Amino acid sequence: MQKNRHSMLTSLLLVSGSAFVFGFFIGLPVWSVAIALFIWALYQVKQFNRLSEWLLDRDELNEPPESSGHWGEVFDELSRLNRRQASRENLLRNVINRFQESTTALSDAIVIVDSNNNLEWWNTSANRLLGLNDRSDRGKPIMNLLRDPRFIRYFKREDYSDPITLPSPAHSDLQIQFQITPFGDGDRLLVARDVTRLKRLEQTRQDFVANASHELRTPLTVVRGYLETFLDQDLPAPLTRGLGSMHQQTRRMENLVSDLLLLSRLEASHHISDEQPIQIHNMVQNILEGAEHLSQGRGGHEFVIELDDSHDLLGQELELHSAFSNLVYNAVRYTPAEGRIRIRWWLDKNGGHFSVKDNGPGIESIHLPRLTERFYRVDESRSSASGGTGLGLAIVKHVLARHGGQLTIKSKVNKGSNFTCHFPMEAVTKKEVEWQDDEPLHIERKPEGNTSQPSL
């Protein structure tokens, strides 16, 4: 454009100079210059009008008008800019077309929600899976179309680390997994995936495990009964040892079947329907009796109990008893003789917490993320010797999920482990305290052989 400005100035000087020279020869230099400048100005106005008409009718005219001189340079530059812009538009149009073709080919529903929670764009699969209408639903609030209260709570909480699975609003027999990803300035990308087949396969697996476990119970009970009858007889030592080993393994299989049945029941529903206030003090005392009995055959342990006796927990008592006892019994099994096991229940601003801490051998950090998997064992030989089924922590995880809680595990090799169950504040209930102590209940129980008395 700097060159065009110089060309226009040069043109003006040439016209003015030529008119002055011509006027000097005829004796009218001023009039000659004035007439020349007037004609030059009319020419500039004409070219400017041509440019204006082209800009106004740009959609219809592909190329700017032809001209010469500095206006020709301007029109040529505009022509080059026009071609470059058309090339960029074609490139962007091709990218958009490719994006739309690829998203249309996806079986998953893709929905873009703007910062005002209104539907901005979606692909074809969203019409099939979510029942959206291209003509009538664009620009409408997403919560007016996806009205399931569970989806609305999921959308509003703005914590999308885990997906949520719900029935399709368009087809009740379809199970849809929703995953939201924030992007841009308050916008959200919603991905809805049909997981009906996976859910059916999972249900088939659960039914198979439940049915197989149920069918195994009867023959195991019969075998155990006969073994106990034989062991009551006066038999040779080798035969007694063999029958004793068989009886031990039968009991272990019965425990495994019981855990599998419990896990199947927990998986059948994601929420509890019969929550009741649970007296944590009584439950822990009951679990402690079983833990002390188990500890007697392992050299004894020191138990330290610290309970906030002014608050209880809302939930399903049998499930929570199973979860808490699994944590305590695991600590007894894997903590060496005369080790220390600390059981706590307390309340803070985040909710209620139940923890079991031991000073056992600890667990390497590489194993911690997988501890709640079924049948996952850190040390196969040690786990088999302990008599565990490999399902305890999986049961704990499912019980806590049904109660809206979660399990955290902290452990260091040779320093011990700490398993903590976290419950939301709405799951905690205050109770009337039967005594006036402001301090939480504190009990210490030493292994047998230590003469010190439990202290309250």
> Strands 340-348 and 302-307, how do they pair?
parallel
What is the three-class DSSP state of 304? Answer: strand
Q: What is the pTM of this model?
A: 0.57
Tell me the residue ranges of DSSP E strands in 251-350: 276-278, 302-307, 311-315, 340-348
What confidence score (pLDDT) does residue 207 get? 79
Q: Tell me which H or E stretch contains 125.
A: helix 124-130
What confidence score (pLDDT) does residue 437 get? 47
What confidence score (pLDDT) does residue 451 get? 37
Query: Can you say whether the dihedral through the CA atoms of 204, 207, 213, 218 is positive or negative?
Result: negative
Buried b (16+ CB within 10 A) or exposed e, 288-325: beebbeebeebebbbbebbbbbebbbbbbbebbbbbbb
What confidence score (pLDDT) does residue 432 get? 54
Any bridge partners for residue 180, and if so which? Answer: 190
Mean per-residue pLDDT pooled into runs of 10, the chain (456 residues)? 60 77 78 83 81 68 67 76 81 78 78 90 88 88 88 84 86 89 88 89 79 82 87 86 87 82 75 78 91 82 88 88 91 88 91 92 87 77 59 88 89 91 88 50 58 33
Any bridge partners for residue 421, and if so which? Answer: 354, 407
Q: What is the dihedral of CA 258, 261, 262, 264, to 10 degrees?
A: 160
Report yes or no: 191 and 109 within 8 Å, Cβ to Cβ: yes
Query: Can you say whether the dihedral through the CA atoms of 143, 105, 103, 158 is positive or negative?
Result: positive
> Which whole-number Å values give the CA distances from 3 to 69, 144, 389, in the listed order?
11, 59, 86
CA distance 46 to 40: 10
What confidence score (pLDDT) does residue 455 get? 32
What confidence score (pLDDT) does residue 325 get? 92
Sequence-ordered list of residues with C-beta below 8 angstroms from that of 168, at least 6 positions apart, any chain: 129, 130, 131, 174, 175, 176, 194
